[in-house]
């Protein structure tokens, strides 16, 4: 990320913190004019949208910030958490499974995923080869 983008993002976050949302949006626009798909800027804007109660917008921004070939596990977990909060556990489970495929050694992530899959009745998806046969 360029230094200029970082400056615009920092400014946007400070303005949002002061509830100067129109000016914050302008700073984000400046950052996006330099690099329209900057994942850090998208995640920061998602945080501001969450503060405004715009959960669906935040989810879209987080999804846009995720590289499908090399997704950021923390972002996938954040999306899953938001989806759970929106009473969309099946969708959350899909994101957790994706996160786990990219960080298989993370025991906390494994347990969180296992718990969510049990909650939605999809525990067999965690270790498909170990699932009992019908």
Q: What is the value of pTM for the model shown?
A: 0.75
Q: What dotted CATH number matches 1-65?
A: 1.25.40.10
| Extents of the domains making up the chain | 1-65, 67-127
Q: Is 97 exposed, middle or buried (0-12, 13-18, 19+ CB in 10 A)?
A: middle
**Residue pLDDT tens, the chain, 134 long:** 578 888 998 999 899 889 898 898 889 888 888 888 788 888 888 888 888 888 999 999 899 888 888 888 989 999 999 999 999 999 999 999 999 999 999 999 999 999 999 999 998 888 755 444 43
pLDDT at 131: 42
């Amino acid at each position: 990320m360029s230094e200029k983008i970082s400056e615009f993002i920092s400014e946007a976050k400070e303005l949002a913190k002061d509830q100067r949302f129109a000016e914050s949006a302008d700073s984000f626009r400046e950052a996006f004019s330099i690099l329209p798909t900057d994942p850090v800027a998208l995640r920061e804007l998602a945080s501001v949208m969450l503060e405004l109660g715009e959960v669906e917008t935040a989810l879209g921004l987080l999804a846009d910030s995720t590289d499908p070939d090399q997704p950021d596990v923390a972002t996938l977990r954040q999306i899953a958490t938001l989806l759970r909060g929106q009473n969309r556990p099946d969708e959350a489970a899909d994101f957790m499974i994706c996160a786990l495929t990219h960080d298989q050694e993370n025991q906390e992530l494994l347990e969180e995923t296992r718990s969510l899959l049990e909650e939605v009745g999809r525990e067999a998806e965690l270790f498909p080869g170990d699932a009992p046969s019908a």
